[in-house]
A and B are shown apart, each in its own frame.
Chain A
């Protein structure tokens, strides 16, 4: 039994078998393939060869145009290596004879070839081994990728263990519905995977540094999303203990269900608007399941993922309209897509690839202002979907008034365009901005005349205020939502907005943290937007607190110099 401590990223307890998600260049492990799966394993290998062949074809035609015919011939040699009987015949033979996984069988054959090459004294011939290993690496990468894709075809419930997961992986996981929990080497409480796990209600621990190398697929794990612990090969007593705790949590969940439909009002009668975050139109049924007052943040970037072109106006309209239909009448705050430069490149838009510092780079409204057609398409779909007049539009990553005015000008153009096409825009949707960049908080007074509401995205606000990359494991300990600077910025936003009578919502990770909720409400935040899975739990936090008391405590917290003191002050009062 081994206990690993990480960052608790999503509540709950998971007990089950590990499933390792591999990345390229990772150590290849030997796995035993049961006899009934040998055929499938050979097919998986053949598919990877086929895929590699297509990859080589693509590279060849690229080289042909850029470097000419002679260089392209090198790829012909790679094709021949791919057809070499050592690979096409010996590897499947090894898979069958030894019940070995394809990656390992291939690496055995390649090792044997390497041995032969190592024996060669002639340097020129010795160096030819790189051609062989280049091809070998391509095949292995295709094997590993095919395994990744198969995340959506998981047959049995498992706990996913990975070095890092990408948005595309999480989409596959969403489809599979077989994931009990997550453990990751990288990540913090507000990284993409954590947010995803919370929205799915899957227990998760991240920031475990090297767990993906310490365990093997099939190992039994306990994921404790409350304490941020993973227990590898737990003893029967530990399993029993966690089973009991899991049951307790389920009972709690049961209790929270009784809060459905009740107002989010503090014990002394202060009303908060509690809303849901929404990641995808498919999750819309959850909104009515928890009877939310509204959607405080609809992250539309998921519409842009796992595809080769940007979604058309029709596709977007269909998605937005389906949400309006699934949860009629309630406010729906749509955030224009917050996609980064790397995604843009994949979608066929010329963006910046491999930015050195993507979080400070080409993302959110910056990208849409550079490519206004994308913004126009999205706005057109939003206006058309706004048949009930309850849609609000929210702009991510805003840092200046100029950007806001540019967006509003484009929105006005879209409106004119639509009326000219005979599609009257009945009401102008409310406009708001995300406060994520500290600059937006500081100049909020200048932005307010142009907007109807403000939403604080605490995940990014913390990251940018403290200059802590939220997925960088080396600085993740510095990521601190209770930092006095963050609190003071939130206070500044609330005070500034309230002076002009405009509401403030919080839609980051903090909005569902049981300790942060009383503090935010005490600071005067009007709306909290949380993952649907955290909705009733958060309502319980609001309904258990006393507004007047926490208004006083929040004022005291603002004068404290360290996050430790702020945490202590709040934790003593929240039981």
Chain B
């Protein structure tokens, strides 16, 4: 299992489109991926779940992945955050 904390840096936080990108990216991997914020855990493949995290700018999110391709999955998601979801 891999765990990684990440801080949200894009302006609007994880609204519908970033949530969609995360769900879309996560769905490409077979491993289980969870996002946790303040003790609330959601499935990273569920856009609805991610949106209900209501993760605004500056929030810290914990990504956990468990499964064969966990390393690649976490890397891909972290990359999305780093690219600020291509918003700028």
Contacts and interface: CB of A to CB of B under 8 A. Distances in A.
Interface of A: 73-74, 76-77, 80-81, 83-87, 113, 116-117, 119-122, 124-126, 128, 131-132
Interface of B: 12-13, 15-17, 19-20, 23-24, 27, 43, 45-49, 51-52, 54, 56
A476 B59 CA distance: 61
B51 A128 contact: yes
15 contacts: A74-B16, A76-B20, A77-B19, A77-B47, A80-B19, A80-B20, A81-B48, A84-B46, A84-B47, A85-B46, A119-B52, A126-B54, A128-B15, A131-B51, A132-B48
A85 B56 contact: no
B49 A132 contact: no
B23 A117 contact: no
Nearest to A121: B54
A113 B13 contact: no
Contact of A131 (B12, B16, B23): B16
Would you list the 4 A-B pairs with minimal beta carbon distance, nearest first? Answer: A125-B54, A116-B52, A120-B54, A80-B20
A80 B23 contact: yes
Nearest to A122: B54
Given A77-B17, A80-B23, A124 B12 contact: yes
Contact of B20 (A77, A85, A120, A126): A77
A468 to B, nearest CB: 49
Nearest to B45: A85
Contacts of A85: 43, 45-46
A122 B48 contact: no
A84 B54 CA distance: 17
Given A83-B27, A116-B52, A128 B16 contact: yes
Q: Is the interface of A mostly helix, strand, loop or mixed?
A: helix
B20 A132 contact: no
A77 B21 CA distance: 8
Contact of B48 (A86, A120, A121, A126): A86
B47 to A, nearest CB: 4
A453 to B, nearest CB: 64
A81 B47 contact: yes
Contact of B23 (A84, A128, A132): A84
A113 B56 contact: no
A125 B49 contact: no
Contacts of B52: 113, 116-117, 119-120, 125
A125 B56 contact: yes
A126 B48 CA distance: 12
B46 A86 contact: yes
Nearest to B14: A125
A122 to B, nearest CB: 5
A321 to B, nearest CB: 57
Contacts of A119: 52
A130 to B, nearest CB: 10
Of the candidates B15, B20, B27, the one having the most CB atoms from chain A within 10 angstroms of its own CB is: B20
